[in-house]
């Protein structure tokens, strides 16, 4: 599997699903009227992040991301997810 395909699969099958699930949770908090300004700000940030990853998929499909950049992005995603897992454990 090429590194581009690996990144595409990671984004489609993991990252976007996790972001969408989290956005759904934020909408539920807002719908229950339990939100504060930080919840709304976080929702906005997550929606922007989702768009960034969707744009990245387009760039991947157009061959605009080289192997080295793919490796860096995969490492960043894995670090981000690792940090999130560590926060969940606290």
Residue-range domain boundaries for the chain: 3-89
pLDDT at 21: 96
- Tell me: pLDDT of 85 over 80: no
pLDDT at 90: 63
Separation between Cα atoms, residue 22 and residue 1, nearest integer Å: 29
Cβ atoms of residues 46 and 84 within 8 Å: no
Burial of 35 (0-12, 13-18, 19+ CB in 10 A): middle
pLDDT at 44: 96
**pLDDT per position as a tens digit, 27-70:** 999 889 887 889 989 999 999 999 999 999 999 999 999 999 99
- Tell me: pLDDT of 78 over 70: yes
- Tell me: pLDDT of 89 over 90: no
Separation between Cα atoms, residue 3 and residue 52, nearest integer Å: 19
Separation between Cα atoms, residue 11 and residue 61, nearest integer Å: 12
Per the model's pLDDT, the better-predicted residue between 86 and 60 turns out to be 60
């Amino acid at each position: 599997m090429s590194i581009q395909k690996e990144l595409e699969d990671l984004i489609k099958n993991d990252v976007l699903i996790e972001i969408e699930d989290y956005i759904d949770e934020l909408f539920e908090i807002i719908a229950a009227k339990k939100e504060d300004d930080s919840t709304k700000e976080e929702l906005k940030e997550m929606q922007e992040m989702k768009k960034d990853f969707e744009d990245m998929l387009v760039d991947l499909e157009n061959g605009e991301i080289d192997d080295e950049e793919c490796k860096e992005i995969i490492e960043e995603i894995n670090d981000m997810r690792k940090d999130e897992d560590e926060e969940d454990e606290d």
